[in-house]
Amino acid sequence: MRGNFAKITKILSAGVVAAGLLASASAKAAEDTIKVGILHSLSGTMAISETTLKDVMLMLIDEQNAKGGLLGKKLEAVVVDPASNWPLFAEKARELISKDKVAAVFGCWTSVSRKSVLPVFSELDNILFYPVQYEGEESERNVFYTGAAPNQQAIPAVDYLMSADGGSVKRWVLEGTDYVYPRTTNKILEAYLKAKGVPAEDIMVNYTPFGFSDWQTEVSAIKKFGSAGKKTAVVSTVNGDANVPFYKELGNQGIKAEDIPVMAFSVGEEELAGLDTGPLVGHLAAWNYFESVDTPENKKFIDNWHKFIKNDKRTTNDPMEAHYIGFNMWVKAVEKAGTTDPDKVIDAMVGVSVPNLTGGYSTMMPNHHITKPVLIGEIQADGQFETVSQTPGLVMGDEWSDYLPDSKDLISDWRAPLSCGNFNVKTGKCGGKGTN
Amino acid sequence: MASRPWTLPGRVSRPARARSSKPSFTQFRTENRFTLFLELLEKNRLNTTMMMLRTIGLMLLLTMASLLPSQAGEADLRATVGKFAAATGFSATEAVVRELAASGDPSVERPLSALADGNLYIRKADTQVFVGKEAGEGVELLDPLNGEKVADAVKADLTKIKVNNGLRRIIRDALGTLTLRAKDTSVRLAAAATMFKTPDAANMEPLDAAIAAETDTAVKAMFEQARAASVLVSDKPEADKLTAISVIAVRGDRDALSLLTSAEANAQGAVKEAATAAIGQINSTLALWDAGQNIWYGISLGSVLLLAAIGLAITFGVMGVINMAHGEMVMLGAYTTFVVQQVIRTSFPGLFDWSLVIALPLAFLVAALVGLAIERGIIRFLYGRPLETLLATWGVSLILQQAVRTIFGPTNQEVGNPSWMSGSFDIGQLAITWNRLWILVFALLLFGVLLYVMKRTPWGLQMRAVTANRRMAASMGIKTPWVDALTFALGSGIAGIAGVALSQIDNVSPNLGRGYIIDSFMVVVFGGVGNLWGTLVGAFSLGIVNKVLEPYAGAVLGKIVVLVLIILFIQKRPRGLFALKGRAVEA
């Protein structure tokens, strides 16, 4: 009996020693490099968009290492595949932070995937850089939003269409895919349009399911809505795969951009790559970056991208620029803080300013959103966008929309002493009401 | 429309017939135009739609140049075109466009249409304006007025003059007025259509002249409608406007409705009443056409569903294999089309219109071979174990998707529409797109062929025998394993062919098949497992119900309603619309 016990103790202690050795070994490895997590779907429906972002992160990390790394250490990318499966995003995020001990994570595309990882990041206190334009109504201490908030994309786009240059549009179709981003954006836009004096009968809102492919009824409804003798435009928050059949149907039914322009918020160079853009010339998109922007920084970025991916036909797009900005901001903040400790880096991030690809500087604001210019582009026959309008200055991301009753009194400021993501200026309390 | 700020004063004061002719000059220019015309014809093959417009414009130039030589001196025009170089911003460019259009000279057609197509450039070195023509890596610079080749350049030395939708619209209107007397009837019709959509009181005079000279009755009618539209926005007396409204109301289409609605809003008294009455009348006819349109959309959706489901009707319906990789067979067919088009684009550009015909047998072969491999490799070990088959084929579908993603990349691939599948035509107020019509024809043909194979060939007989009673068939000397394998390959191959057609209307991405698998099962189960006619009727009835519901319930709710209806229907008739009867079914 006693012998047995001794044996067990021995085995156990050997195990503990071995485990300790292993732990110290991995701790040693961790000291040599700084790990950066990449949380983008490489399979499933979102792979079409997210794979590119994984590649661009690998490129940026390579470039940083070629410059000598960070804090005297090399950067090491840890790539995981959440497979377009929202709960898996949370699991993989936990794995990256707890097991791989990454210093920061760059990832997510859809809002639902971001929402599913939020609790993980606040629980384990790490950093997420989110590179995609989104619906706003959120500000988290652990998340930095490098994509556009609605006021950095949707509102300026509508303003452009209302202007004389954009065709003085009087009648609006808000066409979207049925999920949180289009629904919230359209809610904001509807409130905004009504505030601008557009009567309710001149606004048509319509939603279609994900991956919708038979657009005949919708396009003919748009045609019908557009024949009321007033200049009509479509504001499209149609997402991903559904765009190609949508544009094909527009082209086939002969809806010309000169008559009914379509302004899209989710169509970039990458989406147009699968399309013959000849019939689509003149339809619009609003982004903070276009591949066609003519600046030395952008030219260098595109050249590097083509070299890295070994294909000079691959396009660049807005979320790629967002990762470019986010990564450079993180590098700068780590250098400023002198450590990769997430807590210290989060505090160091606010106020960091790095060059963007459109010839200016983007700055991280206290609400964890960045400043960006807003560009309106028209689709060209070669599948690129040509900028037809640009905001005169940089636009600051506004997380809580001023046009929604539930969020108009909220602000976010993560600097001490306020340190709050939803401070209600009316009641003077942190923890106001948001619409989610 | 009424607020259109711009008129073309130059044209109005200068009736076309009053122009004097200078034969020698005209002759010289005509020759140049002819060589250019040939050049443009060459280009036309590469870029059909855009270039067609230009060619038509040029034909017109040829005719007009011989009839009415330019009045504004060429030097003046040249100076005006040169102003593009100094114009910064869209409003400045717009001013130059208006000046050019106001000259009324037909030769401004070239720089204006080049501008609209984004082909007008400024040479950085000497700020001269040229029409650019892509030539390999560089750009050929052509004279903006006579189109002669001036020099070669590279893109970096040139600044493109930017245009936006507003400018394009203005150019289109300007070209519309310039092309009223074109020789080609289709150009004149297009000009009339443009002028109808953008009415302007200043359009009346040129239209009057054009109506007087017109011989073609159809074109004449269009001109009269365009004139009526212009009368509505002019300050003509009430009686004229009332006649105009009745002329427009005859059209009965959405453009007429649009025009009348804005006229109604701006008018008073009798004109307003007449407009309201006309609108009511048009609306009631359009309501009927709308119903017809919904049915057509339903038939079209039904044909897509039929295409997607018809292969499954064989693998699942006849063989009883729950094949979750069916969608991926469709995807393989679509990718085969993409590869075929790539090869044609690089090696045989002249064959592009035939690409789909060439892709059909190849897509069938590729998908059938993959299907054969799946059957021989996996499914034959799992007959009679539906759950395992489901899981195994699901796995196969993931493997195929990821394989395609690794080979071709995760992004969409561009599959072009051949010219005979682009655009649309009208039957009354019903716009029918060519690609949808061809897909319908193709789906029905495919169904017919399949029906023939199943019912009239020895192979089809063996297939049905094995399905009905496997042991009996085996004892009659039929090699059932091979019949199974070939049937599965046939079903897969048909799915591949469907992929060729679906590549015309959907994304060609690794996820293509995902979108169709649920719909396909729905159609087969609803129609009745094991019955091809059931699949046909199932596909079309689901398509029509879906499309008739959609305008009222919206796409999301419409789909939900259809699913609920199917669930209820399956509760009532578990075997679907056309149930197979007999002992075999129970086994």
Confidence of residue A20 (pLDDT cuts 50, 70, 90): very low
| A214: pLDDT strictly greater than 70 | yes
> Hunting for tokens 């009321």 — which residue is that?
A228
Judge: B556–A178 Cβ closer than 8 Å, yes or no: yes
With a CB-CB cutoff of 8 Å, which residues 185-214 of chain A face chain B?
206-209, 211-214
Nearest residue to A321 via CA among A277, A260, A369, A362? A362
Confidence of residue A150 (pLDDT cuts 50, 70, 90): very high
Confidence of residue B59 (pLDDT cuts 50, 70, 90): low
Q: Are A143 and A366 in contact (CB under 8 A)?
A: no
Confidence of residue B24 (pLDDT cuts 50, 70, 90): very low
Higher pLDDT, A409 or B499: B499
Residue-level pLDDT at A156? 94
Judge: A279–B401 Cβ closer than 8 Å, yes or no: no
What domains, with CATH codes, occur in chain A? 28-148+294-372 (3.40.50.2300), 152-291+376-390 (3.40.50.2300)
Q: Are A357 and A346 in contact (CB under 8 A)?
A: no
| CA-CA-CA-CA torsion sign (B44, B47, B48, B50) | negative
Confidence of residue B70 (pLDDT cuts 50, 70, 90): very low
Lowest mean pLDDT segment, chosen from A388-397, B65-74, B434-443: B65-74
Lowest mean pLDDT segment, chosen from A128-132, A229-233, B328-332: A229-233
Over residues A133-156, mean pLDDT: 93
Judge: B505–A245 Cβ closer than 8 Å, yes or no: yes
Measured between alpha carbons, how far apart are the two ends of chain A, in Å? 62
| A9: pLDDT strictly greater than 60 | no
Q: Beta B138-142 vs B129-135: how paired, if at all? A: antiparallel
Calculate the alpha carbon distances from B171 to A256, B196, B252, B256, B491 in Å: 14, 15, 27, 22, 53
Confidence of residue B342 (pLDDT cuts 50, 70, 90): very high
Q: What is the DSSP letter of B220?
A: H
Residue-level pLDDT at A357? 95
Judge: A278–B551 Cβ closer than 8 Å, yes or no: no
Cβ contacts of A229 on chain B, cutoff 8 Å: 1, 258-265
User: Looking at the partner chain, which of B165, B166, B555 has a beta carbon nearest the beta carbon of A208?
Assistant: B555
Lowest mean pLDDT segment, chosen from A147-151, A345-349, B258-262: B258-262
Judge: A211–B515 Cβ closer than 8 Å, yes or no: yes
| B3: pLDDT strictly greater than 60 | no
Angle between helices B238-251 and B217-233 (to 10 degrees): 130
| B53: pLDDT strictly greater than 80 | no
Distance from CA of A203 to the nearest CA of B (A): 16
**ipTM of the complex model:** 0.78
Q: Are B242 and B267 in contact (CB under 8 A)?
A: no
| B63: pLDDT strictly greater than 70 | no
With a CB-CB cutoff of 8 Å, which residues 144-173 of chain A face chain B?
164-167
Q: What is the DSSP letter of A73?
A: B
Judge: A230–B431 Cβ closer than 8 Å, yes or no: no
Judge: A252–B507 Cβ closer than 8 Å, yes or no: no
Residue-level pLDDT at B384? 82
| A1: pLDDT strictly greater than 80 | no
Residue-level pLDDT at B31? 47
Position A279: which residue type? P
| B216: pLDDT strictly greater than 60 | yes
Q: CA-CA distance, B290 to B394, in Å (whole number)? A: 41
Rounded mean pLDDT of chain A? 88
Q: CA-CA distance, A115 to B75, in Å (whole number)? A: 66
Residue-level pLDDT at B581? 61
Residue-level pLDDT at A208? 92
Give the torsion through C-alpha atoms of A184, A188, A194, A198, to 10 deg. -80
Residue-level pLDDT at A244? 84
Q: CA-CA distance, B334 to B501, in Å (whole number)? A: 8
User: By the CB < 8 Å criterion, does A304 face chain B?
Assistant: no
- Tokens standing for residue B315: 């693998």
| B25: pLDDT strictly greater than 60 | no
Residue A275 backbone zone (phi > 0: left; psi -120 to 50: alpha; other: beta)? beta
Query: If you classify domain B289-586 with CATH, what class do you get?
Result: mainly alpha
Over residues B41-59, mean pLDDT: 53
Cβ contacts of B554 on chain A, cutoff 8 Å: 206-207
| B322: pLDDT strictly greater than 80 | yes
Nearest residue to B439 via CA among B558, B293, B296? B296
Calculate the alpha carbon distances from A373 to B102, B201, B361, B416, B446 in Å: 38, 42, 51, 35, 53
Q: At A285, is the secondary structure helix, strand, or coil?
A: strand
User: Looking at the partner chain, which of A43, A165, A271 has a beta carbon nearest the beta carbon of B164?
Assistant: A165
Lowest mean pLDDT segment, chosen from A150-154, A266-270, A333-337: A266-270
Confidence of residue B55 (pLDDT cuts 50, 70, 90): low
| B416: pLDDT strictly greater than 90 | no
User: By the CB < 8 Å criterion, does B9 face chain A?
Assistant: no
Calculate the alpha carbon distances from B546 to A180, B84, B303 in Å: 25, 52, 13
| B225: pLDDT strictly greater than 80 | yes
| CA-CA-CA-CA torsion sign (B490, B495, B498, B500) | negative
User: By the CB < 8 Å criterion, does B416 face chain A?
Assistant: yes
Residue-level pLDDT at A191? 94
Cβ neighbourhood burial of A297 (10 Å; 0-12, 13-18, 19+): middle
Over residues A122-138, mean pLDDT: 94
Give this prediction's pTM: 0.81
Confidence of residue B100 (pLDDT cuts 50, 70, 90): confident
Residue A69 backbone zone (phi > 0: left; psi -120 to 50: alpha; other: beta)? left
State percent of chain B over pLDDT 90.
Answer: 31
Q: CA-CA distance, B334 to B345, in Å (whole number)? A: 16
Judge: A228–B258 Cβ closer than 8 Å, yes or no: yes
Residue-level pLDDT at B257? 87
Q: Are A182 and A205 in contact (CB under 8 A)?
A: no
Give the torsion through C-alpha atoms of B530, B533, B539, B540, to 10 deg. -170
Q: CA-CA distance, A240 to A205, in Å (whole number)? A: 19
User: Looking at the partner chain, which of A244, A278, A282 has a beta carbon nearest the beta carbon of B49?
Assistant: A278
Over residues A86-93, mean pLDDT: 95
In A296-413, which residue ranges form alpha helices assigned H by DSSP? 296-309, 318-337, 342-349
Count the helices and strands in chain A (H runs, E runs): 12, 19
Region(s) of chain B under CATH 1.10.3470? 289-586
Q: CA-CA distance, A220 to A206, in Å (whole number)? A: 13
User: By the CB < 8 Å criterion, does B349 face chain A?
Assistant: no
Confidence of residue B413 (pLDDT cuts 50, 70, 90): confident
With a CB-CB cutoff of 8 Å, which residues 233-272 of chain A face chain B?
241, 244-245, 248-249, 251-254, 257-259, 261, 270-271
| A146: pLDDT strictly greater than 70 | yes
| B66: pLDDT strictly greater than 60 | no
Residue A30 half-sphere exposure toward CB, CA atoms < 13 A: 14
Judge: B417–A48 Cβ closer than 8 Å, yes or no: no
Residue count of chain B, please give it: 587
Higher pLDDT, B186 or B8: B186
> Hunting for tokens 């499933």 — which residue is that?
A44
| A99: pLDDT strictly greater than 90 | yes
Over residues B67-89, mean pLDDT: 74
Rounded mean pLDDT of chain B? 83
Q: CA-CA distance, A430 to A424, in Å (whole number)? A: 6
